[in-house]
Structure 1
Amino acid sequence: MTQPRFDVLAIGNAIVDVLAPCDDAFLAGEGLDKGAMALIDTDRAEALYAHMGPAREISGGSAANTCAGLAALGSRAAFIGQVAKDQLGDVFAHDIRAAGIHFDVAPREGHPPTARCLILVTPDGQRTMNTFLGASQHLSATAIDADLIASAAVLYLEGYLWDPNDPRAAMQGAIDAARAAGRKVAFTLSDAFLLDRHGDDFRALIDAGRIDVLFANEVELMGLTGEADFEAGVAMLAPKLPVLVVTRSEKGAIAVAGGQRAEVPAEPVAKVVDTTGAGDSFAAGFLHGHVRGASLRDCLTMGAVAAAEVISHYGARPEADLKTLLAQRLG
């Protein structure tokens, strides 16, 4: 097997995040479920944006955020996602390349426009996301370069992008390419609501041995396994996967691989400002360690450090020097 050009190649939604603070009353007035993620159409996106207070625009998207974390840690990352030929598309492409991430998907002409996620952040740091998928849901199988997939040690897939038909087919093709090249496939379930729509697909991927590393949170674990008890869910799922990683918010995270289990507490944070991207950053830290052969515990610690950094400020991408933070934490 040839030496990989990239440590991780990720496929996901190419989104620009629009973040604004709000209070619980605003969420109630807009009929929004605090802490949830909802898919919205063009009309709803325009109406909600008009009601939001002053906002910040930051390139985002779950897998793209993970790439940003990987690059900040010193990993070689590449990203595949679809933007439109418009202003936000230019912003996204500039930001991801400026972070040192390989990105060469051509922008799409015409409508719909580049995707955006309207994120409302309450004083307790909880984020309520309203996502307009726009051009990102038109990623086609022709954007999947098998040679590029084969050039990465790990293919990382974002569950959010499994929802639209075209990107789902693109990701299935990418899994085939990674498997043919003898590369690993990592998958994040992204959100519990997806399990209602595609849980059978995800279970089939796991049962067929097409996923090497699975990322889930407690709620997603319960939805995937049907087990209300956390330990029962882990016991059911872990034997089916080479590596299972489950995040538990303030309770830390666990990983199980080859019958071995590791667990770490959450890293201390002076103040939780915005939880947007916590899981994305955790995945970046874990994968950064995983491709380097680090122990399960060290991989979890790297994930926890990266997640703690990103929830300490607005925005889903790192601002502090993650390399320094890891050196201080792990020595």
Structure 2
Amino acid sequence: MTEPSLDVVAIGNAIVDVIARADDELLAMHSLVKGSMQLVDTATAELLYDNMGPGLEMSGGSAANTLAGMAALGRSCAFIGQVRDDVLGKAFSHDIRALGIRFDTPARTEEPPTARCLIMVTPDAQRTMNTYLGASQHLPPAAIDADLIRSARILYLEGYLWDPEEPRSAMRGAMATAREAGREVAFTLSDAFVIERYRDDFRALIEDGLIDILFANEVEIMSLAQINDFEEAVALFAPKVSTLVVTRSEKGAIAIKNGERFECGAAPVREVVDTTGAGDLFAAGFLSGHVTGKGPVDCLAMGAIAAAEVISHYGARPETDLKALMGGFLHA
């Protein structure tokens, strides 16, 4: 087997995030469920954007955020995702490449425009996401570079992108390529909304042994299991994957690897400002530890530190030097 030249290649939505403060009244006016993610059409995206206050615009997308964290920790990464050749598409491409992440997917020249996520952050730091998938849902199977997939230790897939048919087919092909090359496949469930739509698909992937590392939060794992008891839900899936990682907000996180359970508490944070990207950065820390041979306890701790950093400010990309925050974890 050829030694991998990259740590991770990820496939996900290529999105530009628009983040703004909002109050509960605004959410109620648009019948938005606080803390949820919903897909919106062009008209709804324009209406919500018009009703949002002043905001920050920055490149985002769940898997891309994870790679941003990994790149900040010195890991070698590549991203596969679809943008259009418009202003937001050029901004996304510039931002991800500026982080040192390889991004070679050709931009579309036709409608729809580049995807964007309108994120409303309420005073309790909960983020309500309204996602217009745009060009990202048109990632074709032909965009999957098999040699690139084979070159990475881990293929990381974003559950959000499972919704459209075209990228779903692309991801299935990438999983097959990774499996044939003997690489690990990591999958993040992303959101209970996505699980409700594709629970059977996700459970089939797990049952068929196609996922090595499964990331979820407490709500997602119970939704996947259709069980209201956290421990029962964990017990259902832990034997089916090599590593199950479940985050629990202020209660910390657990990892079950080959049947052995590990836990860590949440890392301290002075003030929770915006929970956008917490799970993405947790995955970044965990996977950064994993590809460098760290044990599950250290991987969990690295994930917790990365998540704590990102929830201390607006936006889903780290602003503080993650290497400095990790301290001895990067050198031990």
Aligned residue for 2:103, secondary structure, equals coil
Structure 1 residue 328, shift from structure 2 partner: 5.8
Structure 1 residue 23, shift from structure 2 partner: 1.1
Residue deviations 1:43-99 (CA, integer Å, cap 9, x gap): 001111011111110100000000000000111111000000100000000000000
Residue deviations 1:256-281 (CA, integer Å, cap 9, x gap): 01121110011111100000000000
Q: Counterpart of 2:305?
A: 305
Q: Counterpart of 2:7?
A: 7
**What is the rounded CA distance, in whole Å, between the counterparts of 1:15 and 1:91 in structure 2?**
10
Q: Counterpart of 1:163?
A: 163
TM-score, length basis structure 2? 0.98
Q: Report matched runs for 1:156-235 at 5 Å.
A: 156-235=156-235
Q: Counterpart of 1:17?
A: 17
**What is the rounded CA distance, in whole Å, between the counterparts of 2:228 and 2:329 in structure 1?**
34
Structure 1 residue 22, shift from structure 2 partner: 1.1
Structure 1 residue 233, shift from structure 2 partner: 1.1
Structure 1 residue 216, shift from structure 2 partner: 0.6
Q: Counterpart of 2:113?
A: 113
Q: Counterpart of 1:98?
A: 98
Name structure 2 gaps, 5 residues minimum.
none
Q: Counterpart of 2:29?
A: 29
Aligned residue for 1:313, secondary structure, equals coil
Residue deviations 1:305-329 (CA, integer Å, cap 9, x gap): 0000000000000010000100167
Residue deviations 1:123-172 (CA, integer Å, cap 9, x gap): 11110000000000000000001110000000000000000000000000
Tell me, yes or no, if structure 1 residue 326 matches structure 2 residue 326: yes
Q: Counterpart of 1:125?
A: 125
Partner AA of 1:296 in structure 2: P
Q: Counterpart of 2:58?
A: 58
Q: Report matched runs for 1:263-302 at 5 Å.
A: 263-302=263-302
Deviates most, 223-232 or 244-253:
223-232
Q: Counterpart of 1:86?
A: 86
Aligned residue for 2:4, secondary structure, equals coil
Q: Counterpart of 1:257?
A: 257
**What is the rounded CA distance, in whole Å, between the counterparts of 2:196 and 2:55 in structure 1?**
32
Aligned residue for 1:220, secondary structure, equals helix
Q: How many residues align?
A: 331
Determine if contact 2:298/2:329 at 8 Å carries over to the other structure. no
Partner AA of 2:207 in structure 1: D
Identity value in percent: 67
Structure 1 residue 121, shift from structure 2 partner: 0.6
Aligned residue for 2:102, secondary structure, equals coil
Residue deviations 1:181-230 (CA, integer Å, cap 9, x gap): 11000000000111221111111111111000000111111111122111
Aligned residue for 1:244, secondary structure, equals strand
Partner AA of 1:47 in structure 2: L
**What is the rounded CA distance, in whole Å, between the counterparts of 1:30 and 1:179 in structure 2?**
44
Structure 1 residue 293, shift from structure 2 partner: 1.3
Residue deviations 1:283-316 (CA, integer Å, cap 9, x gap): 0000001111111010000000000000000000
Aligned residue for 2:273, secondary structure, equals coil
Aligned residue for 2:239, secondary structure, equals helix
Q: Counterpart of 2:150?
A: 150
Name structure 1 gaps, 5 residues minimum.
none
Partner AA of 1:164 in structure 2: P
Aligned residue for 2:214, secondary structure, equals strand
**What is the rounded CA distance, in whole Å, between the counterparts of 1:65 and 1:135 in structure 2?**
18
**What is the rounded CA distance, in whole Å, between the counterparts of 1:328 and 1:203 in structure 2?**
37
TM-score, length basis structure 1? 0.99
Partner AA of 2:108 in structure 1: R
Aligned residue for 1:197, secondary structure, equals helix
Partner AA of 1:153 in structure 2: R
**What is the rounded CA distance, in whole Å, between the counterparts of 2:201 and 2:81 in structure 1?**
21
Aligned residue for 1:156, secondary structure, equals strand
Tell me, yes or no, if structure 1 residue 239 matches structure 2 residue 239: yes
